[in-house]
Structure 1
C-alpha cells in the first residue's frame, strides 16, 4: 500500500518569534507531521512558551510564515482564531478549570462555546474523553475534589473535546510530582498512539530518555533539532 504524504500539521518557515517588541527566536523552520510526538526543550526564557503561543495565535507572527492545522498564521484574521483553536488542543501547566463547576460542566461549557447544542451528543463526547484519560466516573466531581494529576487529566480531556489534530502542551507536568507526571505522560502517549500529534514543551529530561521521541531545542535564539 502506497502511503500518500499528507500536509504537515505544523509548518514554519523563516519565522521570527516575538515576546512583545523583543525577538526571542529567529529564522525558525520546522515541520510536525500528523501523528508525530515532539518534545520541545530549552532553558527558561529561551522562547519555548512564546513559540507555542504563536502557534495558537495568542502572539502574532510578524515575520516569516507558519501554517497550523490548515490556517496560515501570517495571514490569519482575528475572527478565524477561534476556529484554529478548535483544530488544536491546548494543555497548560496551570489547570485553568472553572472551580465553581463540576468536571462535566467544565467540559460542556467548552463544547457549547464551540457550537455543540445537542445534549445527548455533549454527554456522549464528555464520557468518551474522560474514558480516554482514565477518569470515566469523574463527571459530577468538583475540581477541588480532584488531585493535581486528576485535574490535569481533565485538562487533557478538555483539550481533546473537538478531536484536534494536535495537542500543544506547555510544561503539562510542571506542577506534579514525578510519579504523577509519569502517569500523565502515559496518557499523552496513549492519545498519540491513537493518532493525535503532540508538541510538548518540557524541562524534564527524564521523560525524553524514557519516552524517546523527536526533540526540538530552543537555544541562543534558534530552534534546532535535538
Structure 2
C-alpha cells in the first residue's frame, strides 16, 4: 500500500496556464471560450459614396446626350450623322464617347472599389496592391482627361464654324460640364479611397435577396450585363423614335 501511494504522488500534473498570466488556456466557461460571432467587419462605405455619385453622373450624361441626339432627327438624319460625320456638324462622336466612357469608367470604378475592399481583408502582397491600385486610378484619370480635352476641342471648333443647331450645341455644353465634374470626381477619388477602412457592425441574421446582391455576386459577368443593358436601352429608344 505504501509503494502504491508513493507512485500516485509521483504522477506529473499538467499546467495549462499561459506564460504571461495565470489565465487558463482551457476554460469551461462557454462565454469566454466561444469567439464573438455577433459582429462582422464591413468596409466603411455607404450608398451615397463618391463612386456611386460618379456612376449616376455617367448614366445621366449618357442618357441626356442620347435623348438629344434622337430628338434632333427633325433637323438631322441619324444616318447622315454617322456616315457623313464632321466634327462641326455632328454630335454622333459625343454619343459614342459617352457610351464608351459610361461602360469603361463604371467597369474600372467597380473593379477598383472591389479590389480596395478585398485588400482590407487580405493586407498582404503590398507591391501588387500598389501596382493594381494605381493602374486603375491612372486609367480613370486619363480617360476623364481625354473626355474633357475632346469636349473643349469640340466646343472651340463648333463655335468657330457656327454649323450646329442650338439643340446640338447645348449637347456640347452638357458634355463639357459633365466631363469637368467627372474629372474633379476622379481627382477626389484618391483621398476618398485612402480613408476606406473596416468597421464592426452587428451580424445580420437574414440576407436580403435583391438585384443589388445578385449583381454583386456576378462579378465576372458584370461587363456583359452592363453592355447588354445599354444595347437594350439603345434599341428601345430607337424603336420609340421610329
TM-based fold match above 0.5: no
TM normalised by structure 1 equals 0.23
Structure number, greater radius of gyration: 2
Q: Choose between structure 1 and 2: higher strand proportion.
A: 1
Q: Choose between structure 1 and 2: higher helix proportion.
A: 2
